[in-house]
Chains A and B, each alone.
Chain A
Amino acid sequence: MINVVKEGEKYLVADVTITEANLSNSDQFKAELVNLLDKHGKIIVLDLQELKYVDSAFLGALVSSLKYAMTKQLDIILVDLRTDIKDLIKLIRLDKVFKIYNYPEDALAAINKSYAEVR
């Protein structure tokens, strides 16, 4: 369901490989995401380009996973969203809590810039 495609010093880039994310797989989605956070201890850049359908259960799992990431001083960044999924996220204002970029490269540039500023 979540496939790591790239790993850097501070981040993982992971593809969501399902096309439909709903109440039937949201628990598994969250479990895989939490497992990645535990195992790698890195910011996750989640590429959602394959995702065509989402529901509130998936969005709940995403928020719950973000809360978990925050407790570990990590983050979950969303990239490559279909327009309607981005619109849904904006509709309920989750764009205020998730960093969202068009492409993984944009997210990685932001992560690198953030760490450069800290140093």
Chain B
Amino acid sequence: MHWPPSTNHMQKCAKKLAFEFKNDAAALIPSLQYLLAEITESIPPGADAEDILFRCKVIITELLTNAIKHGGNGITLFDIEADADQLRINKTDHGSPLYLINTHNHSATDNLANKKLISADPLNSLYAHWENENCIRFISEESSIEDFLSVEQVMEHFGILIISRSSDEFTYNYDKETQTNTFKVRIDF
């Protein structure tokens, strides 16, 4: 669905929503507000709604930002699905693949070799774990700040880190046949 929402483009089931985002910065906040309002209705009683909405807010903000930066002039699809245990947010576009996708030869036998450090500073470390040739799972860890030397060492790109740190699982898939990028985020209730 483009912003503003049009019921013609929305297929909304009980706890499933398909949303088309036009890759335009002016639509970022209205789209974020709309999606958060929809997610609010899906949070089961007993779950920490404030924490889940905070995590959703920062994750969706970064996914929308990513769409604006890398999705070109097209449309980015958001599929949001919730059940009693989990919330899943999928973002799909046909922009250029993530730079990491062709930087590693996946090993079917050596799982350790499939995990690589992709950025690190005195505060945080970010790893990519190749689940297969076209699927990367992101993992973030807090760095030891004992060796902290200078603010100069702190990185300035936080998008993937924010999503990784806010979610219970965060993966990127690239379908070479359809040239489709899909970011998948899971939040456990």
Query: Do A and B share a complex?
Result: yes
Query: What is the interface of chain A, defined by CB distance below 8 A to chain B?
Result: 20, 22-24, 53-57, 59-60, 63-64, 66-67, 70, 84, 87-88, 91-94, 96-97
CA–CA, A66 and B151, complex, Å: 8
- Tell me which of A60, A64, A66, A88 contacts B58 (CB under 8 A): A88
Q: Which A residues are CB-close (under 8 A) to B145?
A: 96
Partner of A59, one of B25, B26, B158: B158
How far is A22 from B68 in the complex, measured between Cα atoms in Å?
A: 11
Asked if A55 and B62 make an inter-chain contact with CB atoms under 8 angstroms apart, the answer reads yes
State whether B29 touches A23 (Cβ < 8 A): no
In the complex formed, the residue of A with least CB distance to B157 is A60
Known contacts A23-B69, A60-B157, A92-B161; is-contact A67 B152 (Cβ 8 Å) = yes
Complex CA–CA separation, A43 to B68 (angstroms): 34
- In the complex, which of the residues A22, A84, A94 contacts B65, with contact meaning CB atoms closer than 8 Å? A22
Which one of A23, A70, A92 lies within 8 Å of B151 (CB-CB)?
Answer: A70
A-B contact pairs, 23 of them (CB 8 A): A20-B28, A20-B29, A22-B25, A23-B68, A24-B28, A53-B29, A53-B32, A55-B65, A56-B65, A56-B161, A63-B155, A63-B156, A64-B156, A67-B151, A87-B54, A88-B162, A91-B58, A92-B161, A92-B162, A93-B124, A96-B148, A97-B151, A97-B154
Q: Mark B130-168, 1 if CB is under 8 A from A, else 0.
A: 000000000000100100101110111111011001100
Are B58 and A23 in touch, CB under 8 angstroms?
Answer: no
A-binding residues in B (CB < 8 A) = 25-26, 28-29, 32, 54, 57-58, 61-62, 65, 68-69, 122-124, 142, 145, 148, 150-152, 154-159, 161-162, 165-166
The answer to whether A55 touches B156, judged by C-beta atoms less than 8 angstroms apart, is no
The chain A residue with its CB closest to the CB of B54 is A84
Contact yes or no, A91 B152, CB < 8 A: no
Whose C-beta in chain B lies nearest to the C-beta of A91?
A: B165
Q: Return A77 CB to nearest CB of chain B, in Å.
A: 13
Nearest residue in A to B24 (C-beta to C-beta)? A24
From A63, A67, A93, A94, residue with most partner B Cβ within 10 Å: A93
CA distance A67 to B151 in the complex (A): 6
In the complex, are the beta carbons of A56 and B29 less than 8 A apart?
no
How far, in angstroms, from A20 to B30 measured CA to CA in the complex?
A: 11
Query: Is there an interface contact between A84 and B57, defined as CB atoms closer than 8 Å?
Result: yes
Chain A neighbourhood of B156, CB < 8 A: 60, 63-64
The complex places the Cα of A63 from the Cα of B151 at a distance, in Å, of 8
The answer to whether B61 touches A55 (Cβ under 8 A) is yes
- Alpha-carbon distance between A57 and B124 when the two chains are bound, in angstroms: 17
Shortest A55–chain B CB gap in Å is 5
Q: Which residues of A contact B122 (CB under 8 A)?
A: 96
